Structure 1
């Protein structure tokens, strides 16, 4: 039986097996959507110690795949799962991936992250090298897979097997670059000519994301607006120079939402379902959560604001903390789900004691609670300082929870702001506490007019950000590379 795939995705996360955020969601949906559209596609990802296999059985298909990094005898085990017809291959090497967390602990990044993901990139390519035919496209994601296009650029010149293989990098968040000491470059296996300002070198350091940007045939980001923003000094995170140089190869494609998972009409996590044609049960979902969290019963008739996300400055959680006392004075309820910066976690937990029954904070992340907060909240908060795409605001729209968000990146591309006649939410131009509070006040004011509010809710729920639309755009970009899919 022939063993090859036309398109191979390489990424460090894929839902439902592994996930820390939007990257995992994207990889759990985009390849599967392409597969259902008839594309011959597969995914390669790490076999983590905390891998969630659930209903999908993993089987060992290779016990000694040679990798050659950092010493010639090193090998990887390859496992495989059938994810609704999509082949997912897992790279296993215990000392690199059998850990409690994927990339870091509260104390910081793992000291050997560079070695871990050099190994991962090389193992992925060695596994692909054992296929009967080379993939036509290798589509990599973020810094953890950023070295793959660099290896391919140089290997194509000496190995006929890779001659017709093209590469594409998708940047999910430019701020996370995989920047390491220069000495690690010497152990990567890349040739010396890769070490220059147009290659992997970045202010004297070894930059894995820059490697992907420099050597991919095409580079994409997860929203059109973010593709424009990262060309500027404000959002380019120091890489605006090489991105501008490769502007001709840069595309912005908006992420989609997996409505088989994120839809209140068929959501297995909700106490009851509802839809745009009948939203009555949204109130029941709200009451259920208020009871569960022992919150003030009067909030059943007052706006409850939801925040789900990493507790770090990028997400604007500090802005939320700054205005929480005023939100409490306004008689609002606030529910927060997330983890991240220990100082922000401590501040929120302390404030929950100050405002019992009005503020509820859960440190951590659970999929079921995220769904129930989306359904129970009246307004969704997303005060990000920058947001490459954002998925939670797209989920909030489908759950009939109009967002209040900064007018940045994918937020700008997905939310039609009030008072536009076709509005689906509320946006504000500057990531400041004052602008954020003013936008919340505007939303609360509209909430007090039920007929106008319900019109916005119904319109938000009917907005279509399905993966089928996004996947069709990816197919267009694949064809730009001459790949017939």
Structure 2
């Protein structure tokens, strides 16, 4: 089953809890969304608190190229694989976080998106690919001799890791298991024929197991079989227990009761800090807020728009899908762009008709609107630094990170009152502004006119009360959403999961 190749690379690791974080992506190795930021930042923050936290993810080509001090440590003969799977060990490109890559070329040597082909369609063998990943995660969780390391806690993230706790359920030496839902809308659903084909135990096909309306559900495996389950904000944790947001799993999430909770994501202030960000040209902080305007000029040049320090610049970064409320942005653009002193900057990709609509707006308003289709980390940082406001009219948002980045950069967020957006942004009212608590604008009704009215409210404050605008923006900059506080909450969750694991063992042996 396992063939050792060499000893794992050693790096000084603090004593304490051993945690294996499993994720299908991690920044900068590969990124499609906020999961990648969390998967890199949380284990790094845990290590700062004294944990021996390590990350495991698939060995995509981009990840293999970036892994520092990489060396193979063992080979595994896995079910369904014609060739042995290698485990590579190395370090994160930017800090000393140990990372294991699952080198399975038939499954993961595909350039581009980890989940879809170049046309945007899901890879046809996603069930096989991520079952393989889960099988390897489960093996590492039990302690591979070649690694000379076994975790006390396995922490899975999203559907791509959901089968690992299910595969470990009957294993006496398994670690405690924690499963984090980053977005319940993505569940890893496959038909019964796929279930039969990929060779999962027949006993798991039950309503109390992996079966979900006659389909295989990867995410249900993580929910049912983990000692503790959480999602990425307290408000979203409450929302997904309702039929409106529960995507069919609200009953199960209510059923597991105290095993389910919400922990707000943090952000890495070493990466997202306008006072030191290497990706922006002009650094600034709360006390030098006026210097932010220089980044606006740079952003206008980047997007080929006229230089105008007095322009009211609106930014958006994200996926072009219904969840993000992009249809609302499209609906209000004609009215917004009637004001020649407003500019709109967008870095996004997603559904082709929305991409085309944005390109057409940019062509129609070449002096007011700049669009980049795709994701670009440099442009993302420059939008956060150069815009005056940031739009996030998401229909639902488990946590959201861009509104937190925006707060740090003094770019006032305009967001829908949902999920993590409601947990991180304090609405601007006469009272909260007078009290110095306001940090942004919350939209309660997801209608184009409500979003437009909120933009006009922000614009009035920006143009008529510049001192009030500065207080609003710098209050946001003063908020602390660093990873340390969130990581401490995860430590408590790990302790609860370990206690649950102990109690189950005790009950089984009684």
TM-score scaled by structure 2?
0.90
d(CA) in 2 for partners of 1:52, 1:80? 10
2:166 to 146, 150, 156: 150
1:29 has 2:44 as partner: no
User: Shift of residue 80 of structure 1?
Assistant: 1.6
Show the counterpart of 1:318.
Answer: 327
1:16 to 28, 31, 35: 28
Assess if the C-alpha contact under 8 Å between 2:64 and 2:101 holds in 1: no
Assess if the C-alpha contact under 8 Å between 1:195 and 1:201 holds in 2: yes
Which aligned pairs between 1:345-424 and structure 2 lie closer than 5 A?
345-419=355-429, 420=432, 421=435, 422-424=437-439
d(CA) in 1 for partners of 2:328, 2:229? 32
Assess if the C-alpha contact under 8 Å between 1:220 and 1:253 holds in 2: yes
Which aligned pairs between 1:70-469 and structure 2 lie closer than 5 A?
70=80, 74-83=83-92, 84-100=95-111, 101-105=113-117, 106-128=119-141, 129-131=143-145, 132=148, 134-154=150-170, 156=171, 160-162=172-174, 165-297=175-307, 299-331=308-340, 332-419=342-429, 420=432, 421=435, 422-448=437-463, 449-469=465-485
Give 5+ residue unaligned stretches, structure 1.
none
Helix, strand or coil at the partner of 1:287: helix
Give 5+ residue unaligned stretches, structure 2.
1-6, 502-510
User: Shift of residue 280 of structure 1?
Assistant: 2.2
d(CA) in 2 for partners of 1:107, 1:86? 32
Alignment deviations for residues 298-343 of structure 1 (CA, whole Å, 9 cap, x no partner): x420210000001111111111011000110133110000101101
Assess if the C-alpha contact under 8 Å between 1:66 and 1:126 holds in 2: no
2:62 to 50, 63, 76: 50
Assess if the C-alpha contact under 8 Å between 1:65 and 1:126 holds in 2: no
User: Shift of residue 242 of structure 1?
Assistant: 1.1
CA RMSD of aligned residues (A): 1.9
User: Shift of residue 292 of structure 1?
Assistant: 2.8
Alignment deviations for residues 377-420 of structure 1 (CA, whole Å, 9 cap, x no partner): 00011110100000000000000001001000000000001112
Following superposition, which runs of at least 4 residues in structure 1 exceed 4 angstroms of deviation? 1-5, 52-55
Helix, strand or coil at the partner of 2:185: coil
d(CA) in 2 for partners of 1:113, 1:396? 34
Show the counterpart of 2:505.
Answer: none
Helix, strand or coil at the partner of 2:320: coil
User: Shift of residue 166 of structure 1?
Assistant: 1.1
Assess if the C-alpha contact under 8 Å between 1:103 and 1:110 holds in 2: yes
d(CA) in 2 for partners of 1:228, 1:220? 11
Assess if the C-alpha contact under 8 Å between 1:383 and 1:431 holds in 2: yes
Assess if the C-alpha contact under 8 Å between 2:138 and 2:165 holds in 1: no
Helix, strand or coil at the partner of 1:42: strand
Show the counterpart of 2:73.
Answer: 61
